[in-house]
Amino acid sequence: MTTVLAVETSCDETAVAVVKGRQVLSSIVSSQIDLHRAYGGVVPELASRQHLETVNPAIAQALEAAGLSWAAIDGIAATVAPGLVGALLVGTMAAKTLALVLEKPFLGVHHLEGHICASYLEQPQLQPPFLCLLVSGGHTSLIHVQDQGVYKTLGQTRDDAAGEAFDKVARLMGLGYPGGPVIDRLAQTGDPTAFVLPEGKISLPQGGYHPYDSSFSGLKTAMLRLTERLAQSGPLPTADLAASFQAAVAKALSNRAIACAQDFGLKTIAVGGGVAANSGLRALLSTEAAKRNIQVLLPPLGLCTDNAAMIACAAAEHLARGRVSSLKLGVQSRMPLENVMRLYV
* Residues contributing to the site for ligand KG4 (CB under 6 A): 11, 136-138, 163, 166-167, 178-181, 184, 273-275, 277-278, 305-306
54 vs 305, which CB is nearer to ligand KG4? Answer: 305
To ligand KG4, the closest distance from the beta carbon of 81 in angstroms equals: 12
| Partners of 216 in the β-ladder | none
277 binds, among ligand KG4, Zn ion, none (CB under 5 to 8 A by kind): ligand KG4
By CB under 5 A, the count of residues binding Zn ion is 2
63 vs 222, which CB is nearer to ligand KG4? Answer: 222
The angle at the Cα of 332, spanning 327 to 337, to the nearest 5 degrees, equals 100
106-110 and 13-20 strand pairing:
unpaired
7 vs 98, which CB is nearer to ligand KG4? Answer: 7
> In 3-state terms, what secondary structure has residue 150?
strand
Q: Which part of the chain contacts Zn ion (CB under 5 A), choosing from 38-46, 120-128, 129-137, 323-331? A: 129-137
DSSP string for residues in 58-87: HHHHHHHHHT--GGG--EEEEEEESS-HHH
Q: What is the number of alpha carbons within 13 Å of residue 90 lying toward its C-beta?
A: 28
Q: What is the CA radius of gyration of the chain?
A: 20
120 vs 323, which CB is nearer to ligand KG4? Answer: 120
To ligand KG4, the closest distance from the beta carbon of 137 in angstroms equals: 3
User: Judged by CB under 5 A, does residue 306 bind Zn ion?
Assistant: yes
To Zn ion, the closest distance from the beta carbon of 201 in angstroms equals: 26
186 binds, among Zn ion, ligand KG4, none (CB under 5 to 8 A by kind): none
The end-to-end CA distance of the chain, in Å, is 21
To ligand KG4, the closest distance from the beta carbon of 204 in angstroms equals: 28
CA distances from 105 to 89, 118, 287 (A): 18, 22, 43
Of 61, 107, 102, 57, residue with least CA distance to 80: 107
To ligand KG4, the closest distance from the beta carbon of 314 in angstroms equals: 14
CA distance 93 to 177: 30
180 binds, among ligand KG4, Zn ion, none (CB under 5 to 8 A by kind): ligand KG4
Neighbour count for residue 321 (Cβ, 10 Å): 12
Q: Which of 32, 79, 136, 255 binds Zn ion (CB under 5 A)?
A: 136
CA distance 8 to 186: 30
CB-based contacts of 307, cutoff 8 Å, min separation 6: 8, 13, 15, 17, 27, 29, 118
Of 130, 85, 93, residue with least CA distance to 111: 85
CA distance 105 to 81: 18
To Zn ion, the closest distance from the beta carbon of 88 in angstroms equals: 12
184 vs 306, which CB is nearer to Zn ion? Answer: 306
155 vs 163, which CB is nearer to ligand KG4? Answer: 163
To ligand KG4, the closest distance from the beta carbon of 259 in angstroms equals: 22
Q: Which part of the chain contacts Zn ion (CB under 5 A), choosing from 135-143, 154-162, 173-181, 284-292? A: 135-143
268-272 and 130-135 strand pairing:
parallel
75 vs 178, which CB is nearer to ligand KG4? Answer: 178
To ligand KG4, the closest distance from the beta carbon of 105 in angstroms equals: 26
240 binds, among Zn ion, ligand KG4, none (CB under 5 to 8 A by kind): none
Residue 308 CA to chain centroid, in angstroms? 12
To ligand KG4, the closest distance from the beta carbon of 288 in angstroms equals: 18
136 vs 214, which CB is nearer to Zn ion? Answer: 136
Q: Looking at this protein, which amino acid is placed at residue 59?
A: I
240 vs 306, which CB is nearer to Zn ion? Answer: 306
Residue 182 CA to chain centroid, in angstroms? 18
List contacts with Zn ion (CB under 5 A). Answer: 136, 306
